[in-house]
Amino acid sequence: MSAVINSPTAATALQELAPGDPARTICFGGGGAAIDLARFRREVRGVADRLPDAPAVINLCEDRYRFLVAFCAAALRGQTTLLPPSRAPAVIDEVLARHPGSYGLGDTPPASPSPRLRQLPERLPELDGAPLTIADDAPVAIGFTSGSSGQPRPNPKRWSAFRISTAQNLAALAELIGAPDGPTGATALVATVPPQHMYGMEMSVLLPLLGPLAVHRGRPFFPDDVARSCADAPRPPLLVTTPVHLHALVESGIALPPLAGIVSATAPLQAGLARAAEARFGCEVREVLGSTETCVFARRRTAREHAWTPLPGVRLQPQPDGTAIQAPHLPEPVLLADLTEVGDDGRFVLHGRNGDLLEIAGKRASLGDLTGKLLAVPGVEDGVVVQLDEADAAGVRRIAALAVAPGLAPAAILRALRATVDPVFLPRPLRCVPALPRNETGKLPRAALLALLRN
């Protein structure tokens, strides 16, 4: 498989939302028959015909197929889809308030009645008509950062950027996707991540829209759910997941049907977990690197590689406070807080985030490395090390940690850490909790961590 990657332009040329043979399958699973592009296009037109006039919409659909329909219907009406970092009612209300005239669209009744929250009909309307096209420079989405390092920030996305970045992703996953069985064939895809997250949008919405893939309409969460969803696939599926879900799958001992491959993102994937998953499920685990600001820009086989390979056309320029990312789908370089070392061949190694670096008493460490050492303590199932906002009497911001470690006391964990961690970086307080406040993609919003440490 090859992908043609063009540079974005300001041209208003029309582009198809869902190109391909009308008989190509775009969605499957969920107890229903597979859905082809012809039906999908009719339902997009039908839903678009019933949408209110508005500048923007929050797509709250849980069913991935209905998310696809609602996303394309909104784009067809010239509406921007808002992708908040959480679907909690308070977050939804805040985003609606910041975007006057916008509304929410879901596939289940809203928790509380509101004129700004609408529900798709149980049976989606269908309408014949012209091809589904929009202007290439149409602003189709605004993604919000997760808040793991501060307040969520909006990041507008044009269709040209999504189209070009999807071509890059297809090239990066070509060996795992394989060649389709004729013009109507499609590689199956099962995703544990929500479509509202940028990683979920890229891998479970844009890939089936613009590539030869058919996505499972559900969002399996527990290992049993993942196994059932993969069993629904007509051929070995590509599993799009996170390190948290992958760890649960490996630890569960559950058997999965044959897989085309596994893709992981949203948090650093430990090499040991990647090797365990490859041995357990008999396929490659490919980690992709990206952000809401940049979309995916690099990949690696974590079980065998430490360095990352940039996607086609991507260049990294290390800066004193991070790394500038240049890519064909980005109108200008984006500065990330990640510190990198770029080799002569263009591949690069991550050295943590600028905000993760610590310097105390002339000694240096990183929050990422300290978290890794916490997770390496026998009996610790999950954990994180953070630096608090407030400083002590000497002006030093203290380091704290949260650990999920049934049967272990904080003192026992600290004793184990003393073997690998310099005393000045030992976390105090270290609190044991039943679970970490991970969001839908496994990330840890900083505000939630600090609140848990204060309780």
Q: Answer yes or no: is pLDDT of 363 > 50.
A: yes
Mean pLDDT estimate for the chain: 89
Task: Give me the mean pLDDT over the 306-334 stretch.
Answer: 93
Q: Answer yes or no: is pLDDT of 396 > 70.
A: no
369: which 2 tokens?
A: 């490395």
454: which 2 tokens?
A: 């204060």
> Which residues 6+ apart lie within 8 Å of 386 measured at CB?
367, 399, 400, 401, 402, 446, 449, 450, 453
Cα(436)–Cα(219) distance, rounded to whole angstroms?
A: 21
When pLDDT is cut at 50, 70 and 90, the band that residue 393 belongs to is low
- Rounded (5°) CA angle 426-291-243: 60
CATH topology for the 14-351 domain: Rossmann fold (3.40.50)
> Which residues 6+ apart lie within 8 Å of 14 measured at CB?
133, 134, 135, 136
Class of the CATH domain delimited by 361-454: alpha beta
Domain limits of the chain? Answer: 14-351, 361-454
When pLDDT is cut at 50, 70 and 90, the band that residue 10 belongs to is very low
Q: Answer yes or no: is pLDDT of 7 > 50.
A: no
- For the chain, the distance separating the N- and C-terminal CA atoms, rounded to the nearest angstrom, is 53
Coil/strand/helix, residue 262: strand
Cα(22)–Cα(38) distance, rounded to whole angstroms?
A: 5
DSSP one-letter string for 72-114: HHHHHTTPEEEE-S---HHHHHHHHHHSTT-EEEESS--SS--
Task: Give me the mean pLDDT over the 221-225 stretch.
Answer: 94
**Alpha helices (runs of H) in 131-290, residue ranges in sequence order:** 159-172, 174-177, 198-201, 207-210, 223-232, 243-252, 271-281
Cα(242)–Cα(234) distance, rounded to whole angstroms?
A: 23
414: which 2 tokens?
A: 């600290």
Please list, residue by residue across 153-166, b when 16 or more beta carbons sit within 10 angstroms of its beta carbon and e when fewer do: eebebbbbbbbbbb
256: which 2 tokens?
A: 């999965």
pLDDT for residue 112: 72
Q: Phi first, then psi: what are they for 29, rounded to 5°?
A: 85, -175
For 411, other C-beta atoms within 10 Å of its C-beta total 8
Kindly list the distances between the CA atom of residue 234 and the CA atoms of 12, 273, 428, in Å, as whole numbers in the listed order: 38, 28, 52
Smallest Cα–Cα separation from 220: which of 192, 251, 247?
192
Coil/strand/helix, residue 169: helix
Cα(330)–Cα(160) distance, rounded to whole angstroms?
A: 10
pLDDT digits (tens, 9 = 90+) for 109-152: 887 777 889 999 999 999 999 999 999 999 999 998 765 555 66
> Which residues 6+ apart lie within 8 Å of 95 measured at CB?
58, 82, 84, 102, 144
